[in-house]
Amino acid sequence: MIKKTFKDLLREGRKGTKFIGTYLMQPSDMIIEIMKMAGFDFLIYDLEHERMTLSDVMRLVYVSEACGMVSVVRVPCVNEEYIKKVLDIGASCIKVPDIKTAEEAHRIVEYAKFPPYGHRGACSFVRALGYGSNPKASYAKANDETAISIIIEGPEGIANREEIISVDGIDSISIGQVDMSVTLGVPGEIFHPKVIDSILKCADLCLKYKKQLSVQIHTAEDIKLYQKHPAITHFHTDLPPTIFYKACKRLCDEIYKTVEPL
């Protein structure tokens, strides 16, 4: 089976295709398959929050590949050990939160790429390179297929956004809209005009440096806030527990409204 990667989604994004994903914080195989059936393109397995381990993530990457879901792993921080292990497991994209400077972005590229672009340790026996089945594994191909996504969220990152976005090797940018709302003085208002304006400025920079941007949405209507910007190619929705809660609440409310009192 041909594995679909986040780079594949980005190639489609450059042609105008939009794609949808969200975060998964609980290690559930079933949720991955259901969300793929529903139409999600990628899931981000979150090692920063909640309780997931690298062992959990390895299993989730297996399941993702089996059902055609693209796997992204959010590591806790700019950490060489986490980045290398996640990529050795076989994740097609790493996502690193709270990037403050271009120097941090450069370090991520160095950790994630094999020479000559970085110094990721080469081992042909890891899962990502076929468990040793191919002694002449193509490290150039691995470099080409590995996507790097970063999150800009705090005041320092916002101030340095152009230098960060311009770094070669960074493919996708996400905006931490909750953190940004706090920075801009409108805490929790992730769709406030100040927040949207700042996101669109980041999108302009992504267009300038040929990068792609993801944004957070709750409903399809929220997409209209971003003015169909060509650099905004992918969307993060509510997380599975929230989606499940909303569906359950809506169903229960409808039943209680409809049922006749005894």
Show the tokens assigned to 246: 């909303």
Q: Which tokens belong to 24? A: 């998964």
Cβ contacts of residue 90 below 8 Å, gap of 6+?
Answer: 58, 61, 65, 71, 127, 128
- At 107, list the tokens: 């370090």
Q: Residue 49 catalytic?
A: yes
Question: Helices 102-112 & 80-89, crossing angle to 10 degrees?
Answer: 40
240 prior amide bond cis, ω within 30: no
Catalytic residue among 49, 119, 192, 234: 49
Rounded CA-CA distance 42/19 in Å is: 8
For residue 53, the Cα-to-chain-centroid distance in whole angstroms is: 18
Catalytic residues: 49
